Every structure is written in C-alpha cells, then in structure tokens.
A and B are shown apart, each in its own frame.
Chain A
C-alpha cells in the first residue's frame, strides 16, 4: 500500500464547491530512463485516477509518463450530501489503491 494523502474539508455546506487535493507515493517510472547498467528501467505508472462521491464518479483522470513522481492531483467537487468520497488509483503491475474519506454536509 503506497502512502496516500487526501486534503479536503470534513464539513461543508450543501451546494458548496470544495477543493480536494490528493497525493500518492509512486515513482511514476516513465520507461524512458536507463539504469546504471544501461538497461531501460521498465515503465511503472499510475494510469487512472477516479474520485467517486457515494459511488458516482465525479472526477477522473488519465495519467501519462509526463506526470511527475508522487502524483499530485487537485480538483473540485460540489458537496451535495453527507457521504463517502472514494479515491482510487490504478496502474501498471496490478497497482490498485483505494482511500475513502467521509464528508458531513450541513
């Protein structure tokens, strides 16, 4: 499990647009670099990111080698109802990670 950090408000007013910042530890090896022996370091990337609000996808992203290591993704969503936001990262070599954060909407 890679370390992931989610920054978002835990409480919001109904209809308020909140900012969510996500960070996950991952080398994002491009597949273009060569190691010390000269062999190409194999590609190891996070390919997809999804943010689901109570099961419905609100924001998704497709990542390519040009995204920096330890990908930071910042976006917004509307605080509709109290519930759970689930963040998933999927990538090469079967990488799959999920984090959930609850939000209280008043």
Chain B
C-alpha cells in the first residue's frame, strides 16, 4: 500500500456533527434566497414608478413602440436613440406624447416629446447620456388613451460623467 493513505482522514470526519448541520441549513437558505430574487427581466421599482406616473395609473402594454438604440455603446455621453410608433397620425388616431425613461442615471426622465396629428409621423430622435449600463424604456401615449412601451437593455463602455 502507498504510504500515507491510512493516515489521511476524510475531511468530513473532522467537522463536528452540529456545525455540519448548520452549514447545510445555511446553504439551503442561501439557495432559497437566490431563487426568490427578482428575475433578470424585472423592472426596478423607480423606473416602474416613473412609467406609472407618466401613464397616470393606466395600464401600459408592451408593443406598438420601437425604441432603437445600439445594444453596446462606446461613449455614454452622446448615445443616439430613435423612438418610432406606428400610427396613422390622423386627428382621430395619433400619438399624443412619447416619453423616454432610464434605469440608473441620477434621474429617471430623459425626454418627453409632445406630438399631434400635425407631426405627420410619430418618429423622434435625440442623443442622450447614460451613466452606466442600464435599461431604457420608451412609453407612448395614444389619442385613444392607451399607453404602450418598449424597453431595451444597453451596455455602456464609457459612462457619462456623473462626477468628474
């Protein structure tokens, strides 16, 4: 027999039974904690509040709105975004306003456009600042009182200056 194998006691034998039980319970609890954390797709509460306030408590459905932004951004100081809403833009059926919200900047609001039938097309574009990688949400208010949204996750390589 190889020397040393008999002397090598198994690790489990050196841990007293009581603390072994405690370790197991702790590990089980940790597993439960990880399982109950919000899923990756969930919207954080501040962003939810901002969207809810804009919609005045009305239901915000996903769809109709297209938020165009690069998924990976080099410079967070000037990020081009475009919001497009499919709408005939007539007097009876048009987009009244388009709002863009963010998740992790110091403030949730980004920009709010007010449109109307004279806008002709519900398509707006601007450049924004992103302090870090985060979620952007565009919400559109239609003339029939409904609200629609589209969210995009953006990764930012160089963050915009929050503190220089």
Contact = CB atoms under 8 A, between A and B. Distances in A.
Interface of A: 17-18, 30, 32-35, 53, 56-69, 71-78, 80
A67 B111 contact: yes
A82 to B, nearest CB: 15
B154 to A, nearest CB: 12
Nearest to A64: B109
B128 A67 contact: yes
A29 to B, nearest CB: 11
A65 B120 contact: no
Interface of B: 77-79, 82, 102, 105-107, 109-121, 123-130, 160-164
A62 B109 CA distance: 10
A76 B78 CA distance: 22
A58 B115 CA distance: 7
A68 B119 contact: no
Contacts of B128: 66-68
Given A67-B129, A68-B77, A78-B118, A62 B164 contact: no
Nearest to A74: B125
B118 A62 contact: no
Contacts of B130: 66
Given A72-B126, A75-B124, A80-B118, A61 B106 contact: no
